[in-house]
Chains A and B, each alone.
Chain A
């Protein structure tokens, strides 16, 4: 992945990448995201399915080999995925730093 590429991740994608630092199946990702955000972010099945499909295409996550007949596929983050999550974290840091600089300053005045 080109680090200069400015990719802005959606919340669903970012949290899925976070959750997949340990292997999980779809339902597990939903529960993990819900608990990480204290119930604020509840991923819908449709959103999550779209996120998973696109991240598989991009190679940010991969499906773990499971039993052939098993419908419950487990996924895990790849190295590329980790880079993408890291880049997003840096972007978010910048966002927070600038927000604090400007919003907090005007609040004090």
Chain B
């Protein structure tokens, strides 16, 4: 039997997503296919497979990633789906070769990539806000023709929206930074 579930996980919620997929597997639903916000499950023996999400450095079809995926396959790991550079892996639970328990270095690379992405995004937002503010101030004494008014309104809207987004994202940022720091600390004591 097959069923398709639509669910959204954010980029940094890979642990939650992985845990959910593994819970489904324990309940007898094996993930066999993925798509954008889409998960296809098939019935199987509960707990038969263990699932794992990994972020590849390069896109899954690049030669570097191909050689890694071939290596995984050789050790009994299947790729069930991909989403941009994320891959969904599974292996038979009893012979699973995924990192278990602590995985600081692995986690850290994940987190650093996400952190890097969000920092870039934040920089883009800041630049956009700055450009909008410059536009608003330089147009302050411009003739009040509709085009100018519209453009000013647009800039106000964009800079306001971008500021709100940055503020809303702030707690996520600090949570992520704490996570990265904890992972780095872990690195010093564990292999």
Contact = CB atoms under 8 A, between A and B. Distances in A.
Contacts of B71: 26, 45, 49, 52
A47 to B, nearest CB: 6
Interface in A20-63: 25-27, 30, 42-49, 52
Nearest to B54: A46
B31 to A, nearest CB: 18
B101 to A, nearest CB: 10
Given A44-B99, A47-B99, A30 B75 contact: yes
B74 interface: yes
Interface residues of A, number: 18
Q: Chain B contact residues (Cβ within 8 angstroms of A): what range? A: 10 to 19
Given A26-B74, A71-B73, A44 B191 contact: no
A52 B68 CA distance: 11
B100 interface: yes
A95 to B, nearest CB: 14
Interface of A: 10-12, 25-27, 30, 42-49, 52, 71-72
Interface of B: 54, 68, 70-77, 97-100, 106, 191
Given A27-B74, A44-B98, A45-B98, 10 more contacts: A27-B75, A27-B76, A30-B97, A44-B100, A45-B75, A46-B54, A46-B99, A48-B75, A49-B71, A72-B74
